[in-house]
Chains A and B, each alone.
Chain A
Amino acid sequence: MTGMLRLQVLPILKQINKKGMAGMIILAVLVTLAVLAPVIAPGDPHKMAGVEEIMLPPGWDHWLGTDEVGRDILTLVLYGTRISLLVGFSCAAISIFIGSVIGLAAGYFGGRVDDLLMRLTDLFVVIPRLPLVLITVAVLGPSLVNTIFVIGMLIWAGTARIIRVQTMSIKKRLFVERARSLGAGHLHIIRRHILPNVMPLVFANTVLVIATSIYLESTVSFLGLGDPTHISWGMILHYAFVSVALTYGAYWYVIPPGVMIVLTVLSFTMCGYALDEVLNPRLRRRK
């Protein structure tokens, strides 16, 4: 394990460009904020204050002001980090799993299997994501688990395509043929010979999938299909939209959650592209 770390991970880290590094630093900060939210948040996210603390502009007691029921915005935004990262990582895990299974099967077996799986993949590439996610969440009922499940189930198509193409090129290599002539079964070849060679590409793709998931979740929550028992950035903006915040000019209510969404999505995409540049030989020559 340490050998793999030294031989595979470190060289990759060394080649990552400045933007990728900046993205990673932002991500590290975000993860720290999410983990430490209960410790560093100045207040209780569910505590509603009295009338005198409603819609306060930023000040000493509340650095980012308060919302229409007197909750501290900074606390809400910090807790929102937890939900967004949780959604991002869980959705990516689901979608990478489905995408890998379908991509590997289509690329490795080819023929009829490939045709069938690729038509299915086409369907999920073509259908606009947001409407499908919104409608499915509405049908299943808004909850955090449903949102994660639905987003994960619907965004695997890109991953499947990448893995399929890579699998098709690797299965023609000599070492696969050698393994087969030595009597290795399909599952063994896929697991021991193809998967390790496909994984680097998947890695970069995963980071981008996380960004997409976070973006989708915030939109779903903003449009009123979020889980009311959890605080996410999209949810805060939803409350800002349906409350008097906009006509009141409560910039402190609207700006912070959005900045957090942009920062998170941006840092994940920057990391993703930086990793892709290192891991994807096709892109390496472009400078």
Chain B
Amino acid sequence: MNKKNYVLKRIGHSILTLWLILTLNFFLFRMLPGDPLRLLFTDPRVPLEVLEKMRVQYGLDGSLLYQYGKYLLNTLQGELGMSFVYNMPVSEILVERLINTVILLLPATLLSILLGCLLGIVAAIKRGRASDFICLSLSQLLWATPAFWLGLIFMMLSSGFLPLSGMISAGMTFDSIWAKGVDLMKHMAMPMCTLSLVMLGQYAIVMRNSLIDVLTEDYMVIARAKGLSRVRQLFSHALPNAILPVMTLAALNLGLLIGGAIQTETVFTWPGVGRLVFDALLRRDYPVLQGAFLVISSCALLANLLADLFYKLIDPRIEY
């Protein structure tokens, strides 16, 4: 199979998976016991005409197949329905929350990749020795640590000298954009540390294993035999090859992150998609949950596709 066919096939599969996600998303919320409208209007005095009108507005009229078709059509047009709680279109809420999530996630991810790679490189170079054992154990420990628990501990440690919830101090006016930035940083410090630490372990382990594999290759022996300095050996011969799995992991994680931020955003009341999901779960705001789930899964799907294509395109050793 040539390259173009492969890419087309992967894109085709992804579209198929997207359709499956949409279908799952539709039927998941139809598993709710009873009439969904009755969850919303618990007052029995609501007149029938109003209920019928609401039924049409929330896409709950007609047969199941009709509803399904309508759902697919609406979703493809970016129409995700109205929130039960916020009385706003779900798509508008999601866009606003997504921006906040990205503000938190991007620096956290970069930090975790940087520190994780560093830890992994140290472990790989010193493999079999005490520092390798320490780095590896630390990575495994961090990997097994639930983000919400680490968040709780950070919250307890920093209470008193850092703000513990939200993104910007409520009701405050700032003299300049700098003052606002400082306030944002103060709010961001703890959630960012939590996220980077729990993600770091994974990168360290992948970096270590990948680098150890590369270090045993013949071209590394040649590099050493040529008398290259250890720094040159590492940076111009070993790392370019060893970094590939790390980059793939990073791309995959970017997709999973939005969903994974639920824990951290919940603990620190960060107004992102994760906290939105948590609030919607508590209040049973089903349209928001449905919309958020679609966005979270689509991001993961897209990241998966890109990681795969990127990996195949960048690594000439892979055959189709």
Q: How far apart sit A239 and B20, CA to CA, in the bound complex (Å)?
A: 37
> What number of A residues sit within 8 Å (CB to CB) of B?
44
A145 within 8 A of B: no
Chain B, range 92-136, C-beta contacts under 8 Å to A: none
Q: How far apart sit A249 and B164, CA to CA, in the bound complex (Å)?
A: 14
A261 within 8 A of B: yes
Known contacts A132-B293, A135-B281, A138-B284; A127 and B300 CB within 8 A of each other: yes
A128 within 8 A of B: yes
Q: How far apart sit A269 and B143, CA to CA, in the bound complex (Å)?
A: 10
Known contacts A128-B256, A131-B262; A224 and B282 CB within 8 A of each other: yes
> What number of B residues sit within 8 Å (CB to CB) of A?
48
Secondary structure at the B interface, as helix, strand, loop or mixed, is: helix
Flag if A261 contacts B146 (CB, 8 Å). Answer: yes
Q: How far apart sit A286 and B215, CA to CA, in the bound complex (Å)?
A: 12
Partner of B277, one of A131, A255, A269: A131
Flag if A126 contacts B304 (CB, 8 Å). Answer: yes
Q: For residue B40, which residues in chain A have a CB less than 8 angstroms away from its CB? A: none
Q: For residue B31, which residues in chain A have a CB less than 8 angstroms away from its CB? A: 139-140
Q: For residue B293, which residues in chain A have a CB less than 8 angstroms away from its CB? A: 131-132, 135
Flag if A241 contacts B267 (CB, 8 Å). Answer: yes
Q: From B153, which residue of chain A is reached at the shortest CB distance? A: A254
Flag if A218 contacts B146 (CB, 8 Å). Answer: yes
Flag if B213 contacts A223 (CB, 8 Å). Answer: no
- What total of A-B pairs shows CB separation below 8 Å? 126
Secondary structure at the A interface, as helix, strand, loop or mixed, is: helix
A130 within 8 A of B: yes
Flag if A240 contacts B159 (CB, 8 Å). Answer: no
B20 to chain A, nearest CB (A): 5
Flag if A223 contacts B263 (CB, 8 Å). Answer: yes
B245 within 8 A of A: no
Closest 10 CB pairs of A and B: A128-B259, A258-B149, A265-B144, A266-B144, A131-B259, A123-B20, A127-B297, A128-B256, A138-B281, A222-B148
* Interface contacts beyond A127-B21, A135-B28, A246-B155: sample of 18 additional A-B pairs, CB < 8 Å, sorted by A: A123-B21, A125-B304, A126-B297, A128-B258, A128-B260, A132-B293, A138-B281, A139-B31, A139-B32, A140-B31, A223-B281, A224-B281, A237-B148, A258-B152, A262-B144, A262-B145, A262-B146, A286-B212
